[in-house]
Amino acid sequence: MSDKSIQSLATFTSSLSKDGRSDERELTERQQSFLDNLINTGGDPKEAAELAGYAEGSYTQVVKSLKREIIELASHILAQSAPKAAIKLVDVMDSEQPIPQANVRLQAAQTILDRIGLGKTDRVSLKREIIELASQILAQSAPKAAIKLVDVMDSEQPIPQANVRLQAAQTILDRIGLGKTDRVDVNHTSSGGIFILPSKGEVIDAEYSEA
């Protein structure tokens, strides 16, 4: 994670006890230090607790007491990475060269977008300005994704990492709302019209007797 990202997250953690998201409780200096160090240590709670001055082996209790703040911090990390995840989808889709661990990286990008609310047309109110940026990146790539699907379908030549690129295009379209939809077209322009069969009625068995 870049120094700029760490600084941004540190600023975020300092506001956790001030914005009402944690039952409006004030964090102690040591609790705040733990959250800051949780970022600096790459998410290692044991090391973060030691750096914050907690007794050795007490980090599990610290995590338990700060559960809400830690979850909020994780959601902010994911939201901050949403634009990068959106760009990664486009890069994977466009790449003409093999990408190391393409499937894993694609899945990571998909998971980030899912967790912050940019799932398959499911939206959640979370870090709106960042999510909107990621959504805009995906939306502007939608025509390219649609064309990519058609190109893969029409290609007579082998396409490098075709499955991964196809999955990336599908993901982009899913995230902007062009997912799988059930459509029924009842419009018919033929002069012959439409013949609609009546609904299947109940068959009743009856005996027949001559008069």
DSSP state letters, 99-144: -TTHHHHHHHHHHHHHHTT-SSS----SSHHHHHHHHHHHHHTHHH
User: Which tokens hold the place of 69?
Assistant: 């703040």
Would the pLDDT of 30 be above 60? yes
Judged against a pLDDT cut of 60, whether residue 15 lies above it is answered with no
How confident is the prediction for the chain on average, in pLDDT? 75
Cα torsion 120, 121, 126, 129 to 10°: value is 110
The pLDDT of residue 173 is above 80? yes
Query: Is the confidence at residue 210, as pLDDT, over 70?
Result: no
Q: Which residues are CB-neighbours of 104 under 8 A, at least 6 positions away?
A: none
Distance CA 184, CA 93 (A): 30
Phi–psi pair at 169, nearest 5 degrees: -65, -40
pTM over 0.75: no
Q: What is the pLDDT of residue 113?
A: 85
Nearest CA-CA partner of 169 in 151, 152, 140, 146: 146
pLDDT at 98 (0 to 100): 83
**Mean pLDDT across 35-48:** 91
Tell me the backbone φ, ψ of residue 159, rounded to 5 degrees. Answer: -110, 125
Tracing tokens 């007579």 back to the chain, one arrives at 156
Q: Which residue has the higher pLDDT, 112 or 180?
A: 112
